[in-house]
Structure 1
């Protein structure tokens, strides 16, 4: 096992359920300094695990373990932290409770404060649903978080984004083998259908028109759909995907006891220096959403990421986009 587990004990969730013997998986990179002020929190994304964040960590990069103590906490539902696939009865499989951004971030806060006694976080950064957690960190802990860089993600899931997720969810659940979440074998037809629907959203129209999947080593469009998309989601547990999908659909940094649904108040609470990176053609987190959010944040700017890689401009698959993100992080960490 290349990660560690933080035992949370019995956790009362926003939905009203009590998750007993809850677990938060995490991995750290680098060393916490004596002052405990070199901390970077880097939450995982939809379906992602810590190793899938590592493309942005390394020597000479902004997130250099020689300089920073980087904590990558796994979101609930990702298969490493408490999830439908690893939780014992009675909250296993289809009975796993609904998880919110607030649940994830408050538990991550427990991790860094209870394990290391951390009181200041130099940077919170994340992609996609990790970006949503990044916004939530900034809103809930404004005195603690000094900088945030969410990329390709929003502080609140838009109605159109919600509808996109309804499509992939319906494709998965239509497989008879899914059995309302009580499957004994993976519903592979549903997972393949899920992947095919997702494929139309993760990258942009120009990406497909220019056949840029060839740069990723695929020989045809069908090869890309099967090899990249189906191959990715076939490795995932269906109930885990649906748990995290619910979290994403209902993501709203104001939907908690602190802000009571006042979204502008939640945005205004983010005191951290914020640079919000928005890919030009992100089909479910469009730049216009981020630009509106930044208008209501006191110390924030929105920067569009040029290019045609769509949402996956933030996925570590295109070196040009990776360099853009890394350069931004270096600038933010120095400032």
Structure 2
């Protein structure tokens, strides 16, 4: 026990990922692929003959495998950006891509994986985080032929899925690193604002019960409102916008950005968190766990004390709580791996198998 808190592929076609800008030329070239899960049954009771799982990989498949899981509506390119990959994937770094086989799948409902906007719209099966984890597991086992993972690590939605991975497949990995997440069910302000995000889009007449011809205007404003209201990073926001004029400039920049999301996809993916609750299964987690959160994360407010009270239920777990500062960005702090890269490296050394 070391519970403590620290402040401070057979069917796939591989393609070179030229559209994705990765962190440095010293890294292996990312490749992307699709794998199809046949006969997929969802927890809702609905089924699809084929579920497409899109993913990218870096490194040699014969090396120890690391599974990285993205956040809600987060493009995979974010996990290849200098602030993340540039701090983690390079030579001698924690997830050195010459030593590990890094797998980054797109969850059901995201990117190039199967999603409502492919054609079914609101007739697409309703999925949840557990369904996403099942699809990821099938990709790893059936698609890539990998029987064991060195690490499962995820951010936000991917962090919550990391908790589920530890419970559903406790012998599958050597270590777990959930980031910007907690094991408790969605509740309080976090769920209330997710619910309002969904209701705002559904309440827009242009949504037309999901049969819109153009993206409903509310999609953009609701998303911006949700992001500003729930991300946190209070000190950083005040540092960037100490006057109303500068605050307006930040808002204007967001309003001017093009809409890249689809409203139905948006409703589905935010709704997929509704029944998330890893609390009842915490005692099933056997892999050592490093939990990384930020003190200024408004979606997972530290003042609730929920996580600290649950730590004793986990066999081997420690919490790295990154202090708030003008450099942190609340829920988005995890995309700046400089705040935890050294601790992650130490954790992996401690959990290495002899």
Q: Same fold (TM over 0.5)?
A: yes
In 2, Cα distance between the equivalents of 1:45 and 1:330? 22
- Tell whether the 8 Å contact from 1:196 to 1:225 is kept in structure 2 after alignment: no
| C-alpha contact 1:171 1:197 (8 A) present in aligned 2 | no
Count of paired positions: 308
Q: CA deviation at 1:79?
A: 3.0
Counterpart of 1:243 in structure 2 is 268
Could you say if the C-alpha distance between residues 167 and 213 of structure 1 is closer, same or farther in structure 2, counting changes exceeding 3 Å?
A: farther
- The answer as to 2:245 corresponding to 1:223 is no
Unaligned 5+ residue runs, structure 2?
Answer: 1-14, 18-31
Match of 1:97 among 108, 115, 125: 125
Question: What's the counterpart of residue 114 of structure 2?
Answer: 82
Residue-by-residue CA offset, 1:15-63 (whole Å, 9 max, x unaligned): 0100222111111111122xx5x11000121011321222322313322
Which residue in 1 is equivalent to 2:198? 169
User: The residue matched to 2:273 in structure 1 has which SS?
Assistant: helix
Aligned twin of 1:252: 277
User: Are 1:59 and 2:90 an aligned pair?
Assistant: yes
Q: Does the CA contact (< 8 Å) of 2:180 and 2:294 recur in 1?
A: yes
SS of the residue corresponding to residue 42 of structure 1 reads strand
Change (3 A) 1:98 1:63: same
In the alignment, structure 1 residue 307 sits paired with structure 2 residue 324: yes
Contact 1:278 1:286 in 2 (8 A): no
Q: Which residue of 2 aligns with 1:16?
A: 45
Find the residue that maps to 1:283 and give its secondary structure: coil
Asked if 1:108 corresponds to 2:136, the answer is yes
- 2:29 is aligned to none
- Alignment partner of 2:103 out of 68, 71, 76: 71
Deviation of residue 252 (structure 1)? 2.0
| Distance in 2 of aligned mates of 1:106 and 1:159 | 24
What is the CA–CA distance in structure 2 between the aligned matches of 1:157 and 1:230, rounded to whole Å? 35
Q: TM-score, normalised by structure 1?
A: 0.85
| Pairwise CA RMSD | 2.1
Q: Deviations over 1:108-137 (max 9, x none)?
A: 111111133222211111110010111111
Quote the residue 1:130 is aligned against: 158
Question: How far did 1:187 drift?
Answer: 1.2
Specify every segment of 5 or more residues in structure 1 that has no aligned partner in the other structure, as ranges: 254-262
Quick check: 1:127–1:152 contact (8 Å CA) kept in 2? yes
Deviations 1:237-278 (A, max 9, x none): 11111111011232223xxxxxxxxx33x1111111101011
Higher relative contact order (CA 8 A, sep 6+): 2
Residue 197 to residue 144, structure 1, CA distance change in 2 (3 Å):
closer
Whole-angstrom distance in 2 between the partners of 1:202 and 1:213: 18
